[in-house]
Amino acid sequence: MRILLVGAGGVGDSIAKIAARRDFFEHLVVADYDPGRAARTVDWIREHHGDAVAERFSVARIDASDPDVVASVAREHGATHVMNAVEPKFVPSVFAGALAADCDYLDMAMSLSEPHPTDPHAQTGVMLGDDQFAQADDWERAGRLALVGMGVEPGLSDVFARYAADRLFSEIDELGTRDGANLVVRDETGEEVFAPSFSIWTTIEECLNPPVIWEREAGWFTTAPFSEPEVFEFPEGIGPVECVNVEHEEVLLMPRWLDAKRVTFKYGLGADFIGVLQTLHRLGLDSTLPLRVRSAAGPVEVAPRDVVAAALPDPATIGPRMTGKTCAGVWVTGRGLDGAPRGTYLYHVADNEWTMREYGSQCVVWQTALGPVLALELLASGTWSGVGVLGPEAFEADPFLELMARPVEEGGYGQRWGLEDRPVR
């Protein structure tokens, strides 16, 4: 397996660092628009793992917005797999470039949505991933696999859902992804600051777009942002966090392969975070449409969202100032294998202190990077295989979770995952 990793931001950097401890691939190219950023990742690998490991990595410059460039770089390096770790706005071009280069493809976020033009808080418009699923026949004819939504959420959450459907439940009422954390970022003086732990582009897209819900009788429909608040108790010391509906890929993926009456995604944002996002929206600072702005060099066009991103700390750099844990999981309700009512939360927790110490990566981006590396290893071994455009639910969950939890000294990743049965309300 020869991997072209497109993007050396926080998640791309973590993917390379996790992969450096594994031997399932022949070579991994870290490619970025800024080759210096990619080089820093490879330099870290050399410093921590030595020259012999670093020789399996190289650096390339890439323009992720141009599918011809993506295809050219993939061919140049003999890539068999393209791993997309850039902003979701580049999904169409990286997706097309991978197919043109006759490579398999993986991503962690799917092609962007467009709200319904007249009734956005009730009806869906263009949904997340619609553009990719529309091209499924092309991938099938080419005999290539596009594994979409293979991060942590989506990704690991979808693997948990498949495991619950196969191993724990005879009937599922709801597959409810629930994400929460107790993370805090402080400035040099110790004051808590607003610093999203993930790309602000992705954060705005997820949180301000109309959330999508799926129900067996109604299909996919939308609600207003931040709807249906609930307090969810997260494990391992995180505690209760208020969660709200947010647009997310799980709701678009799970119903395609798993049988449930309802599918939701709720994110623990907190009142302050929601307030900032609502203010950005009211001021139009969440827009991707360029505005003409006067500058000392003359008029320039700039998207307000890009200005917000430039003003905030890079999520890849905030790890040293962050404390706490993040939890990703799925709350499943229905009937167990014995036919009795059952509620089970399947989850994984990442501690920022540990990920910083082991990988120099903050916990949110590191946890997101874990799933793609695991999936690549399963594809390399032939344990997972397929053609077309598929989500994580299309593959057996047991091998993924077994490899994930197996101790490092026995060839696994040493990442324990949890399962808690709770009373159903």
The pLDDT of residue 172 = 98
Cα–Cα distance, 59 to 17 (Å, whole number): 14
Report yes or no on 81 lying in a domain.
yes
The 10 Å CB-count burial string (b at 16+, else e) for 68-98 is ebbbbbbeebebbbbbbbbbbbbbbbbbbbb
Report yes or no on 421 lying in a domain.
no
Cα–Cα distance, 360 to 354 (Å, whole number): 9
Report yes or no on 420 lying in a domain.
no
Domain identity same for 402 and 278: no
The answer to pTM > 0.95 is no
Within 10 A of 16 (CB to CB), how many other CB atoms are there?
A: 25
Domain identity same for 60 and 130: yes
| Structure token pair of residue 117 | 């033009």
Domain identity same for 392 and 308: no
The pLDDT of residue 200 = 76
Report yes or no on 61 lying in a domain.
yes
Question: What residues form DSSP beta bridges with 4?
Answer: 29, 82
- The answer to whether the peptide bond before residue 290 is cis (omega within 30 degrees of 0) is no
Domains identified in the chain, total number: 2
Task: Please tell me the total number of residues recorded for the chain in this structure.
Answer: 425
Domain identity same for 96 and 132: yes
Phi first, then psi: give them for residue 8, nearest 5 degrees: -120, 30
User: What residue ranges in 127-168 does DSSP mark as E strands?
Assistant: 145-147
Q: Which of 95, 97, 94 is nearest to 75 (CA)?
A: 97
Report yes or no on 34 lying in a domain.
yes
The pLDDT of residue 289 = 85
Q: How many helices (H) and strands (E) does the chain have?
A: 15, 20
Domain identity same for 106 and 45: yes
Domain identity same for 343 and 293: yes
- Look-up of token digits 């903050």: 362
Domain identity same for 76 and 195: no
Report yes or no on 83 lying in a domain.
yes
CATH of the domain at 357: 3.30.360.10
| Structural domain that includes position 194 | 156-361
Domain identity same for 224 and 323: yes
CATH of the domain at 32: 3.40.50.720
The pLDDT of residue 311 = 81
Within 10 A of 271 (CB to CB), how many other CB atoms are there?
A: 10
Report yes or no on 188 lying in a domain.
yes
For residues 385 and 356, the answer to whether their CB atoms sit within 8 Å is no
Per-residue pLDDT of the chain (425 residues; tens, 9 = 90+): 999 999 999 999 999 999 999 999 999 999 999 999 999 999 999 999 999 999 999 999 999 999 999 999 999 999 999 999 999 999 999 999 999 999 999 999 999 999 999 999 999 999 999 999 999 999 999 999 999 999 999 999 999 999 999 999 999 999 999 999 999 888 878 777 777 776 777 788 778 889 999 999 999 999 999 999 999 999 999 999 999 999 999 999 999 999 999 999 999 987 788 888 888 888 888 888 888 888 777 888 888 888 888 888 777 677 788 899 999 999 999 999 999 999 999 999 999 999 999 999 999 999 999 999 999 999 999 999 999 999 999 999 999 999 999 999 999 999 999 999 999 97
The pLDDT of residue 298 = 80
Domain identity same for 233 and 337: yes
Question: What residues form DSSP beta bridges with 82?
Answer: 4, 105
Domain identity same for 335 and 240: yes
Report yes or no on 416 lying in a domain.
no
Cα–Cα distance, 90 to 109 (Å, whole number): 10
Contacts within 8 Å (CB) and 24+ apart, 48-52: 48/20, 49/20, 49/21
Cα–Cα distance, 4 to 83 (Å, whole number): 6
For residues 73 and 343, the answer to whether their CB atoms sit within 8 Å is no
Domain identity same for 104 and 163: no
Domain identity same for 294 and 346: yes
